[in-house]
Structure 1
């Protein structure tokens, strides 16, 4: 793995963020993952089901499809590992790699490690790091340390997703069954599944199981790969290494330029030297030596310009002349002691606090000890524990009961504790409610209400008359307060298709007016009445 070619932002993440990173990689490279997986897995599915059909044991095909699932996990692992550290491989490269890549470490995943809940995390170690023997086992433990619980939850959640997809496919079949035949169809389906189902039903079940696994498994592998990347980032500080590599790449041109300038400056600097006067050497002049104990002054040098100083003559110390002689050493010592006695220089302080008195010795405790109760003491402790924890259990049960029955007593408490409110005025509608009995001339009554501007009343009367006429002709009985959907399902029993279509148009017009505030125009109402009147035996 070349860290400098990584295509994602590597940084220490939480385990959940790492799994989300893996799922994002799977979604990004979905075509490169699912296309080889399906094309390579479909022949295996057909072969296993054909063998199961031949021996009349199709359940073995489903079991083998589940068992060899790690072999197909190599496809998303191959694509993701190449996509993160480079470019995603194509279909041919992925298919060719499955013939020879990753078979040796796959033996363990197909045998004794097949039921391992940490397979999503250990699979990248086995396939990508190329280790074997004790180093491989040690590496697995190191990578799985700290993320084993998340890997276990990942395995459980993916299995639940597969189960949910299977149940969804089963319920999808029930959605296409008529409501009136649902109970009979459900009983027939249960009998078909539980009581020696035919082979084609078993093949369809295996197909649904394989489709659910093929959909969920890449996300399982991708989430495990995200955990693996995050763990290696934490162990090997990949994020710091990448940051330093980028810093070096950014500063390399500037550093080269700076070194070049430095070398050019050194080469251009002239070499300086001191030349001695030959005449001075011939006359025997000696070099002047400067002693650290002698103070040189310009006026002295100016007054004696020609005076030579013997370099070998020792010079007297000049420090006493500057600072003076310390004659009273005892006074100096006393001053030092007074300075050290200053409380500002003392870092010790006294703190007073309360301290518990020491307990009595062991002999006194033994003298005051009571008799040895033995079994009675143990029984007393048991009752004490029951009393202590039993009260908490009773309190928890009371809280649960109150929460469970809150919908019954909470409205009463809210009304009882709330302020008294004045009774609201009763709003009386301008139009009287619809009569219980339909008028003799329904079409004329609808037209009258429509002309008076009471359009919703007119459509409500027309809808009610259509429903009653439909129930009479279809021979059905509706429950009180039946919804439009229930009415439409009941209208399927009308003998004539034209009657069903006309009634469906009436229901749609009523729904648009009641819920969408979209009323038909006068021509639309006349056309609807002209279509419904001859169907339901009304006078036009």
Structure 2
């Protein structure tokens, strides 16, 4: 490590000043940091889109969030090189990924150390110092001695900002959603029952989460790295060492200048001395030593022997004004460095540490099991969060797609009326009647909350949870035939029409409506 090449002003700072220095690093080197990070995330997202089914999109989100330690190592690589005067390109940064994956403790950070609150501060010890085992633990304990609390609060602050920005982004998107669709959107978003515009909202929400994460993680790693450098500056006196090195450089330059000046002066004296006349000493000169002799005599009169000097010093120290004592009492922290009680067995410390670790991991496991249980049984507790509309609030539409759904305008025998139209060659009218009666049953018998804005595909998705598999399959085939006739002007085959007419009563017609007709 060459301290002379460091680009920051190295001095002893408080932890919060060091965090501010880290934020300034991101502002100064944001292009070098965000470019390789964005490329890496795009590659990971592409792989997840190809491998993970859309129904399990939440798995992709969990994987993106869980891989944060990998992004941290790439960010630290760029920042550490920029700090010491190097500017790696995005391709050079990505080329070192295999080495970072294998030799920077990534496996432990993705497993049992994933939930460490100070992992950002410990990362340089793993990645830059490459310490392992007892050396790493001792080094980590030394560096974290005074900054463990700020390192944890930095993690909490970044997480809070990420949560606030993500929720704010989602609420901003929510403002653009039509009111009639936004009522139960949150429930549908979690229970995978999205339709129509809900899919777009879901995609935008995921993009917002990823963008917020990409934006904030460099600030977290840069601030942690700045605290690490500040702690090393305090322990190893980097600022003093740099001052001495700068002073040495200035003195070496001054020394060279003085050497040149002295050499020039000697040459001038040598040249001028050749032509100077020879001078001789004056034998009549007598030096005046009266002042020196009088000063010596004065000292001899006041000077004491060693034993007498000691006696005088002791007498002075016995003076009352020099023997005043004052007792001051104040609160102070207990000395944790005192030796433990000899009655405590030597294995007690190890047992306590093991027991504390077991309790910690048990709590994390309990939290994970609780989250999994909440997801598995979400269909039981999530309806409690949704306001159940009263019967009076449900407005049943009378017309959908220009089709009249009122009971008084529907035939009593649907199959007979449709077969009559089919025998006359009116295929479009036949399918229109069947589809109109199907919509009427969904609205009147199944109380499905259909809206004027819903499409045929939206109706199929909404009816999936309300209909049995047999009825939903029939509705799917009927919808497909109706869409082909209405929009593509393609008539279904005779086999399809025979199926739709022959299986209306057995596969789709509601039992409640059938019983009503019989009465």
- TM-score between the two structures when normalised by the length of structure 2: 0.50
Determine which structure has more spread, i.e. the larger CA radius of gyration: 1
